[in-house]
Amino acid sequence: MSKLEKNIKEFYETDGKTYKYHRWERNPIMKFDYQCTKEAIEQVLSNISGSSVLEIGPGPGTWTEFLVAHFEVVHALDISSTMIEQAKQNPKLSEVEFTNANFADFETTKTYDAIFSVRSFEYFDDKEAFIQKASQLLNPNGHLVILTKNARSYWFGRTKVRTVLQKIFPFLLKYDEENVPEKSRKKINLFKQKRTYPSQLRQLYKKHHIQYNYHYPVIARPPIFMRGKTEIPLIPPSLEKATLSIFRAFNSIIKRIPYATFFAEGFVMVGKKGND
């Protein structure tokens, strides 16, 4: 296990208990992000078939629910036992086989009709090893679906801009509602997410016998809300709903344009393993 993976494991073991709430439920912005991600997953599922799926990094089972509704057999693999225990509390996931392990070290004789990685690929140090192993675990004509953060996006640099604004206009941050303890902040700073360019991921698919099908942007909105410690604080809560309604229309257009990933936080890529 790499140092990056150890740091990630430590963080989610001890500080991941409220992850789902803080990431997807805390306020209208987070709920907007959740809805965009949900729609992307549902769209992918509508275009693939199969009876078995391996989910890598399910966390508290946020997206596992959608896989359960689509596949007969769901195997979910997570590096954090804390996350798995949370997922097991969901009665909808009672039939899911959970394994507490790092995908890089995971060994099995099973193969799958699909492999899903939603918001976990950016945590892996060795991207090529991930794709190579996923390809080995896929049945012929099986699908590899990765939803991850984009390496080239106007979301980059927001933390630095936020730091400058905090010093000049501290009142802009008065709506922050996520009180992260200093101890947790230090743990978060121990690991940096390794984002990927769509072109890089597409090349890795091809190299390891995964035929590229398509990709498109996910969460197409600028990070400009006052609530949230990863946003540039410009839009106050009173204007959130109106602003998000505009971004909703923007998102519906952008997600139809594969090469418009610059305008989104992340993207989803779908590939299919060949018969050879």
* Residue 211 belongs to domain with CATH number: 3.40.50.150
Q: What confidence score (pLDDT) does residue 176 get? A: 60
pLDDT for 233-247, tens place per residue? 889 999 999 999 999
Query: What is the token pair recorded at 45?
Result: 């599922």
**Which residues form the domain of 99?**
3-273
Residue 73 Cα to chain centre, angstroms: 22
* DSSP character at residue 194: -
Q: How far is CA 264 from its chain centroid?
A: 13
Say whether 272 sits in a helix, a strand or coil: strand
Q: Residue 274: what pLDDT?
A: 86
- Dist. CA 15–CA 31, nearest whole Å: 21
Give this prediction's pTM.
Answer: 0.89
Q: From the centroid of its chain, how far is CA 229?
A: 18
Helices (H), 169-259: 182-188, 198-207, 240-254
**How much is the pLDDT for 190?**
47
In whole angstroms, what is the distance from residue 230 CA to residue 174 CA? Answer: 14
Contact 138, 258 (CB under 8 A): no
Rg of the chain (C-alpha set): 19
Predicted pLDDT of residue 65:
95
Provide the pLDDT for residue 5: 66
Residue 259 neighbours by CB under 8 Å, 6+ apart = 198
Query: Structurally, how many domains does the chain consist of?
Result: 1
Residues of the chain with pLDDT under 70: 1-7, 11, 14-16, 159, 171, 173, 175-192, 276
What is the distance between the alpha carbons of residues 15 and 69, in angstroms, rounded to a whole number? 29
Residue 57: what pLDDT?
95
pLDDT in tens, 186-228: 444 445 678 899 999 999 999 999 999 999 999 999 999 988 7
